[in-house]
Amino acid sequence: MLSKSQARAFFLGGTFLFSAIFVFLTIDSVRQNDTRTNAQNLTEDVLKGKEIWEKNNCMGCHTLLGEGAYYAPDLTKVVERRGVSWIDVFLDDPQAMFPGERKMVKYNFTKEEKGQVIAFLDWVGKIDANGWPPKPNIPVDSIATAVPSQTTANVVKVAQPEKFSQLCVACHAVGGKGGNVGPALDHVGSKFDADYLNRWLIDPQAIKPGTNMPKLPLSDTERKDIVTYLSALK
């Protein structure tokens, strides 16, 4: 049986050997780091964004590269998923965008700070993270085939405006795709006329005081495009 000095040799030898391998792998990882993380894109804005991220302990709720607190969504690919303009609106008043949902602190970032946070998240999203996060691999259709979908949209002749896919889908679904915070918009065109939809988008509160729908920053053209699109959803 093992003697005490052999046991000690096992402990010291093992520790030394594996520490050495670990240090060697660390040196190699650091060497490859600039390429894998696109360090050349670490602009002033990205670095400022990281500072804001840390100063407010965003990781105390959110998760980034899978590390964090699991209370709020993982933001690794958020710029790709939501788009810059959505995040920009969202940060102004997080609760307005997800009324009655899990709360986020309203930080009152300036326009510049918001840009820096977004630049940081955009840079993080482009790190080579060995293919993480993986794409969902169980197709929902395969489970839902037996149930006829109730939200199938009619064939829409008008293409979805860009702003709609950036902002509105976060809360509303069309054709089963989108959020479920607000009602699905599949037949909204047959319920309301264009004039009403237009007034609604200008100021939801004026039409229906107390509504959870936020007033969105849309230009006249953008609003017109969305109204045209919504009117076609019959």
Query: Using DSSP, how many helices (H) and how many strands (E) does the chain show?
Result: 12, 4
Among the listed ranges 64-72, 184-192, 197-205, 212-220, the one in contact with other proteins (CB under 8 A) is: 64-72
Task: Tell which one of 84, 85, 94, 98 touches other proteins (CB under 8 A).
Answer: 98
Is residue 96 near other proteins by the rule CB under 8 A?
Answer: no
Minimum gap (Å) between residue 137 Cβ and other proteins: 6
Nearer to other proteins, 72 or 232 (CB): 72
Provide the 3-class DSSP secondary structure of residue 104. coil
Is residue 109 near other proteins by the rule CB under 8 A?
Answer: no
Residues 170, 214: contact at Cβ < 8 Å? Answer: no
CA atoms within 13 A on the CB side of 147: 8
Is residue 26 near other proteins by the rule CB under 8 A?
Answer: yes
Q: For residues 64 and 124, what is the distance between their CA atoms, to the nearest angstrom?
A: 8
- Burial label for 21, CB within 10 Å (0-12, 13-18, 19+), is exposed
User: Residue 63 is inside which H or E element, if any?
Assistant: strand 63-64
Task: Tell which one of 115, 175, 179, 204 touches other proteins (CB under 8 A).
Answer: 179
Beta bridge partners of 173: 178
Q: For residues 178 and 82, what is the distance between their CA atoms, to the nearest angstrom?
A: 11
Beta bridge partners of 174: 177
Is residue 207 near other proteins by the rule CB under 8 A?
Answer: no
Among the listed ranges 126-134, 192-200, 209-217, 219-227, the one in contact with other proteins (CB under 8 A) is: 126-134
Minimum gap (Å) between residue 151 Cβ and other proteins: 14
Minimum gap (Å) between residue 188 Cβ and other proteins: 21
Is residue 93 near other proteins by the rule CB under 8 A?
Answer: no
User: Which residues ranging from 181 to 200 are in contact with other proteins (CB under 8 A)?
Assistant: 181
User: Which residues ranging from 73 to 92 are in contact with other proteins (CB under 8 A)?
Assistant: 73-74
